[in-house]
Structure 1
């Protein structure tokens, strides 16, 4: 059957058919020879048609198989590309954590993934896939490559729960890098859905202005000093007690993060525990 699929063989068969046709026409009324040749002609014609149909069928099947193979290869390449971008993003995060640790050798940093969000919490708290077995403890600072995002409030062996800096339960000492004014970063219900928090208890004569960077002060021993929190979006007055506060926009959209890291230890905390 493979001979039928050969182009040269098919040409040969067609040539023989042409020769037979000419022969039949030249014999005229010789009925015996004509009948024999007509039978041979019919057989060769059927043989040629069968070979052509078989070859076409094989070609179609081959094309289908090749298309399916290409489709599978494209799907695999798309998956590999997605994995590449995920790996690239992860490597970029780890590099920034490494740079932070290099600047602060006493830091112990444990990268982690967010495995769920607390749907009953309005301030975007979440659970990480590391726990006490990884050295995580209550009140540990939680960061991303772009700054402070929260703190650990509950721990088991393999997971920990985190309250974000959008929550009013957060009380983080902070300072304006440009003006030197200090206050307490704490969230509220009016700001959290906009991914905003507040720098409260500012002095009346503060010099905080829009665009200033706010970082942790390091007082209290819970948070390391100089962790980036965000930038000043605007200065406002509390209608309840007329106190001044700054609205802070974190450098990270805390509502959408999928990974973070826990600072499980740092020098000042170690000294205070001693």
Structure 2
């Protein structure tokens, strides 16, 4: 019924409890999950996890915050998408949140390595014909600009993909949608302080909507502050249903259908 479109089950907080996590998923009617790669060093574990379970899939990529790790080439990423149950490239993108020049931190100009890595991932996705899983934080203008420069305008040949754990403005959401991307909401949408995000979640077209946990982080209310797992994604769906004035089942069915459509290598 429910699909968690973004989780990190290989992270230490969850990896040791996989049988319990899968049992809780079954009890909560969470039937599928996409396991996300954040480094090339982690990718073999992520891919093996997906290959070992008929309701898990995997991505390959390097998170924008990951430093001092192996930097993949386009060819490496494309080759990795040929492995079983690998359905997307990412997560990738830009993250300027930790940058603070006022405190002696790095400036935008110091993050060319993030932008170069993002371009590599985009080019690999277009070549492999798989979608992108995009992380953008405090960097939406550059994220959109690079997508445009790399031809990701929603036209022929575009890889497309999803802006995961969306926390940006309505204007950024519209720009992503215009470029053919999906929008995924996490437990943040259940937080009382997230009024602007809730307004975005109320109008995103139903056929571009995904739900996720980003577990082990961002547990939804009423579990905020605790370790998150895919079994809690129904709470994200419930909040979206409330905001949109529809049933939880409708959100579950629509977001699961969207997941299958976007990640076209996935069996329904």
TM class, shorter-length: under 0.3
Does 1 or 2 have the higher relative contact order (CA < 8 Å, sep 6+)?
Answer: 2
Of structures 1 and 2, the larger Rg is shown by 1
